A and B are shown apart, each in its own frame.
Chain A
């Protein structure tokens, strides 16, 4: 269970959101500029909120009043970024192993081959990220985040840099991820189609505020004003 209640001033833009996310896939849905990525960065520990509190499974990750700010590297929150952010100097295999190395876990060949098979990236293991297509890169990025054994998975517009055909290729992998991996997911998107396929719960954002929370049926009601 993730509880977020944070405030942050980013230049002219003020972000003030509060929401909760349990298991399954929670979508943060809104137009660009609604503050989605800012929220993701605060949950991951990459930017510091001005005020507020972030809790995950009963552990306080951030609390300005109590002066708690767990550094990103200790949060065990997996991230998949829009641009993948694979390490260009490491092979795909070493990118996948990176989280395990850093956290000092022993190798788990079963988990490794399971994730590799689920994402269908076995034929890419010895390549460098520079030699991958956009869709392959994002699948490897998902695998890398999964293999660090995260308590929570943050996906920040993982399909935004791909064309429509590629998106349709990857969506099934993400659906499998949601159904098989049993890691709660926060899925950031401005694409109602993606959210409708993946999300079990939706948090609607606009101008740095939460405007509604509920099931995917929220998308139908809000379609006109969000996507207008």
Chain B
């Protein structure tokens, strides 16, 4: 027996996990950059409330986050019913629902990394940009954003890895449906619940380790490259 013998179901779970994690990261990124900028650069009423809200998924038990999503976005929940009736959008028990739960769970990590990198930027460079005729939008796009790039990459990669491993909130919100919401983690969990399933579970565990390590290495490499580029190497 070779080390990796993946069944079609395994492949389905792997590809689904990658798709969910990737879409969750890409969709969360603009919001993550916006909220991180807001928290790093603006003082406004309710700032600590927003900060707490963003960090909530980090401290709440994931099952609780999943449950909260279920009672707001579920088919019979207020927001969920509104979206279904008016736009025909249903996320409960769909892979798109898993994107939402993974995105929410990964969001605090993403915001933290980006916020730190924005706070580290010398604001006087933005002042210099404004004396050179750049309004706020342009100075953000041409100075702040490029200088924050290593942090943005790190934040995106952290979020991707977190989304890939998401289990509690996802299984609570969208259940564990093979081919629709069964990610690697959920598939491993299912396999460990059936007698003699641990050998098959090990296959997926190895895949999960490979993907996570690859994501980590890729993020290190990208962040280093971005930093080097910023400083003209």
Contacts and interface: CB of A to CB of B under 8 A. Distances in A.
Interface string A16-47: 00000000000000000000000000001110
Given A102-B138, A128-B232, A130-B232, A87 B143 contact: yes
B230 A99 contact: no
Q: In the complex, which of the residues A83, A102, A129 has the most CB atoms of chain B within 10 Å of its own CB atom? A: A102
Given A87-B125, A88-B230, A89-B229, A77 B147 contact: no
Nearest to A128: B232
B127 to A, nearest CB: 5
Interface stretch (A53-61, A68-76, A220-228): A68-76
Interface stretch (B128-136, B172-180, B187-195): B128-136
Nearest to B122: A85
B124 interface: yes
Contacts of B135: 71, 73
B143 A78 contact: no
Given A87-B125, A89-B147, A102 B229 contact: no
A81 B132 CA distance: 12
Given A88-B147, A102-B138, A129-B232, 12 more contacts: A45-B130, A72-B130, A73-B131, A73-B135, A78-B131, A81-B128, A87-B129, A89-B229, A98-B129, A98-B134, A128-B232, A144-B132
B42 interface: no
B132 A102 contact: yes
Contacts of A78: 131-132
25 contacts: A46-B127, A72-B131, A75-B131, A78-B131, A78-B132, A79-B131, A85-B124, A87-B143, A88-B125, A88-B147, A88-B232, A89-B230, A98-B142, A99-B132, A102-B129, A102-B133, A102-B134, A102-B142, A103-B133, A128-B231, A129-B232, A130-B231, A130-B232, A131-B232, A148-B132
Interface residues of B, number: 22
B143 to A, nearest CB: 6
Interface of B: 122, 124-125, 127-135, 138-139, 142-143, 146-147, 229-232
Contacts of A129: 232
Contacts of B232: 88, 91, 127-131
Interface string A86-108: 01110100000011001100000
A73 B128 contact: no
Contacts of A83: 124
